[in-house]
Structure 1
Amino acid sequence: MSTLSCHVLDTTCGQPAAGIAVEIYRFGESQSLAKGLTDQDGRFKFELLDLASDCYCLRFITEEYCLEHFKQCFFPLADVVFISDEQQAHYHIPLLLSTFSYSTYRGS
């Protein structure tokens, strides 16, 4: 089994994005496996979740943050779909967020 953490960086100001809701789903399913909010450092660790080898969707619900910080929202959520391998001990997925774009990568 693998563990999962994530963080969000507001690239318009180069600061962590606190208070963004994050949820994890098995890809194609609608029942959330776990959820939480990014902390003051823009990070969240899914403490009680162990990922089996499967395809997952990590959902960042960005609408409230975007409206508050950008005064508009183009992407109300950002889904990151990834495949886990339980032989991998940990996955870290960052989200780089700005007014009209977002990107992600496999972190360490």
Structure 2
Amino acid sequence: MTISTHVLDAARGRPAVGVRVRLEHGGATVAEAVTGPDGRITGWPSDTAGVHRLVFDTGGVAPFFPEVVPDFRVTEPGEHHHVPLLLSPFAYSTYRGG
């Protein structure tokens, strides 16, 4: 299984570059990265079922939300899980992408 994310700055209509993101599982950090020029982090390996957490350091893009922390459940460890984040100054949304 792999886990990826895509951070978009909805207020500016472009990818959010330079956002630190941490992947956690079982209370431990599994991986860390920074979004690239396209706002993406791809291919974090994970072969473990259960609840995972992405911790987005969003203070530089949306100061009202210094962090966004969605938890998500992996039931099929062989599948790819893509969790995008859409940010604006006073709102955010996330979902399971393709």
Normalising by structure 1, report the TM-score: 0.83
Greater share of helix residues, 1 or 2?
1
Greater share of strand residues, 1 or 2?
2
- Identity among equivalent positions (%) equals 39
Q: Which residue identity does 1:53 align to in structure 2?
A: A
1:1-80 equivalence runs, <5 A: 2-27=1-26, 29=27, 31-47=28-44, 49-66=45-62, 73-80=63-70
Normalising by structure 2, report the TM-score: 0.91
The CA distance in 2 between the partners of 1:56 and 1:87, in whole Å, is 11
- Residues 94 and 107 in structure 1, CA contact (< 8 A), matched pair in contact too: yes
The CA RMSD over aligned residues, in Å, is 1.4
Name the structure 1 match of 2:80. Answer: 90
The CA distance in 1 between the partners of 2:47 and 2:16, in whole Å, is 25
1:79 Cα deviation (Å)?
0.5
Q: Which residue identity does 1:5 align to in structure 2?
A: S
**Gap runs ≥5 in structure 1:** 67-72
**Gap runs ≥5 in structure 2:** none
Runs of 4+ in 1 over 3 A off after TM superposition: none
Aligned residues: 98
- Residues 56 and 68 in structure 2, CA contact (< 8 A), matched pair in contact too: yes
If you compute each CA radius of gyration, which structure gives the higher value, 1 or 2? 1
Name the structure 2 match of 1:69. Answer: none
